[in-house]
Copies of this chain bind each other. A is one copy, B any other.
Amino acid sequence: MAEPLDTSTGNTPAAHADTRTNLLDAAEHLFAHEGVDRASLRSITRAAEANLAAVHYHFGSKEALVREVLARRLGPLNERRLRLLDEAERDGDNPRLEAIVGAFVLPALEMVQRERGGHAFARFVCRTFSEPDEAFRDLVLDQFREVVARFSNAFERALPGLPREELFWRFHFTVGSMVHTAGLGFLAYQLSDGLCDPEDIEGVGERLIGFLCGGLRAKAVGHEA
C-alpha cells in the first residue's frame, strides 16, 4: 500500500497521519491549487486515500472542512505574530517601528517559504480574503481580530501624533503589501523578468519592512483643518 501523499505542515514529523489529517492535508493542497469550488470531495478523498464518506464523518460537510483547513494554519501564524510583538515590547517600552512591522510580516513570509505547502496556503488565504462568501471571509477576519487590535495599538504608540483614521488606513495599506507579497510573490519574479527572487525571504522581508516603515512614517497629509 503506497504511503499517502505527504502534504502536511511539516511541523509535526509525519506522526503516522490518521485519516483526518490526511484529509486536511489533501484538502489544503487541492483548495490552494484548484480553488475550493473546483476541488471536489471526490478528488480530495482520492488524494487522501480515503473514502468520500470519510469527509462527512470527520467534518460534517465540505464547508466545515474548508473552515478547519483555514483555522489549522492561521491560528499558529497569528499566535507567532503576537509572541514576536510581546518580545519586541518587552525589549523596550517603545519598540522600534521596524520591530513591530517585522513581527507582523515576517511570520507570514516565513510560513510561505519554510512550511511545506505554505506558498499554496498563502494563495488560498489570499483568495479567501476576497471571497464573496461571507462565512469564510468572517472566519479569516475573526482569526485576525486580536492581531489587528494589538498591532494597531502598537503602531499608535510608535507613531504618536498620527490621527487614528490615518493610522488605520496605513495599517490597511500595510496588510495589502504583506498579503500580496506572501501570497503572490511569484508575480514580482514574473514582472521583473526574474530579477526579484521571492524565495529569498530575508531579502524580501528586509525590503518589505523598509518600504512599509517609510510609508508608515510619511508626513500625514493635512485634512484641511
User: Which residue of B has the minimal Cβ distance to A172?
Assistant: B188
Known contacts A127-B131, A211-B218; is A195 also within 8 Å of B164 by CB?
yes
A interface: dominant SS: helix
Instruction: Give the Cβ gap from A85 to chain B, nearest Cβ, in Å.
Output: 17
- Binary interface profile of A, 22-48, with partner B (CB < 8 Å = 1, else 0)? 000000000011110110000000000
> Is there an interface contact between B195 and A223, defined as CB atoms closer than 8 Å?
no
Distance of A172 Cα from B204 Cα, bound (Å): 11
> Is there an interface contact between B210 and A218, defined as CB atoms closer than 8 Å?
yes
Instruction: Give the Cβ gap from A203 to chain B, nearest Cβ, in Å.
Output: 7
Instruction: Give the Cβ gap from A183 to chain B, nearest Cβ, in Å.
Output: 6
> Is there an interface contact between A129 and B184, defined as CB atoms closer than 8 Å?
yes
> Is A10 positioned at the interface, with any CB of B under 8 Å from its CB?
no
> Is there an interface contact between B183 and A173, defined as CB atoms closer than 8 Å?
no
Distance of A203 Cα from B165 Cα, bound (Å): 11
> Is there an interface contact between A35 and B184, defined as CB atoms closer than 8 Å?
no
Number of A interface residues in the complex (CB < 8 A): 62
Instruction: Give 9 A-B pairs besides A32-B132, A141-B190, A177-B177 with Cβ atoms closer than 8 angstroms.
Output: A35-B37, A35-B132, A129-B184, A129-B187, A130-B130, A141-B191, A164-B192, A172-B196, A176-B177
The 8 A-B pairs at the shortest CB distance, nearest first, are namely A176-B180, A214-B218, A37-B37, A215-B215, A168-B192, A211-B215, A173-B177, A176-B177
A and B contact pairs by CB, cutoff 8 A, 25 listed: A34-B132, A123-B130, A123-B132, A126-B129, A130-B130, A141-B187, A148-B191, A165-B195, A168-B195, A169-B204, A169-B207, A172-B180, A172-B181, A172-B185, A172-B188, A172-B191, A172-B196, A173-B177, A176-B178, A176-B184, A180-B180, A203-B223, A210-B220, A210-B221, A214-B214
Q: Which of A's residues lie within 8 Å of B, judged by CB?
A: 32-35, 37-38, 123, 126-127, 129-133, 141, 144, 148, 164-166, 168-181, 183-185, 187-188, 190-192, 195-196, 203-204, 206-208, 210-221, 223
